[in-house]
Amino acid sequence: TYIFCDDPKIIEVNRQFLNHDYFTDIITFDYSRGRMVSGDMFISLDTVLSNSELVGATYQRELLRVIIHGVLHLCGINDKGPGEREIMENFENQALVLLDEIKS
């Protein structure tokens, strides 16, 4: 499930469930079992917009990246440990290339 929200909602979820007091673009709750991928993804459209401006990407491209990021979490890819962020970014980039190929 995708729950598109604003910054006040994402920080509320971040505080309530993760005890984090900061904005983020996505919070993923993983309910996957075995081969069944399932979860809730809260996506702050405000933070997606500000991040797109920071990295020089279009809003649509950054939103796609964040959605892919959440799905990768549901598939078991993490990004907090040593070297994991680079692995996550590699998978994100591969998925974006595939989407580009589909569009052309």
For residues 63-69, average pLDDT: 98
- Going from N- to C-terminal start, the domains of the chain cover 2-103
Confidence of residue 20 (pLDDT cuts 50, 70, 90): very high
Q: What is the reported pLDDT for 103?
A: 85
Instruction: Tell me how far CA of residue 72 lies from CA of 30, 54, 66, 90, in angstroms.
Output: 11, 23, 10, 11
Buried b (16+ CB within 10 A) or exposed e, 13-36: bbeeeeeeeeebbbbebeeeeeee
For residues 35-63, average pLDDT: 97
For residues 36-55, average pLDDT: 98
Tell me the pLDDT tens digit for each residue of 71-84. 999 999 999 999 99
Confidence of residue 104 (pLDDT cuts 50, 70, 90): confident
The conformation of residue 24, written as its DSSP 8-state character, comes to -
Q: What is the reported pLDDT for 5?
A: 98
For residues 38-53, average pLDDT: 98
Whether residue 50 is predicted with pLDDT greater than 90 in this model: the reply is yes
Query: What topology is assigned to 2-103 in CATH?
Result: Collagenase (Catalytic Domain) (3.40.390)
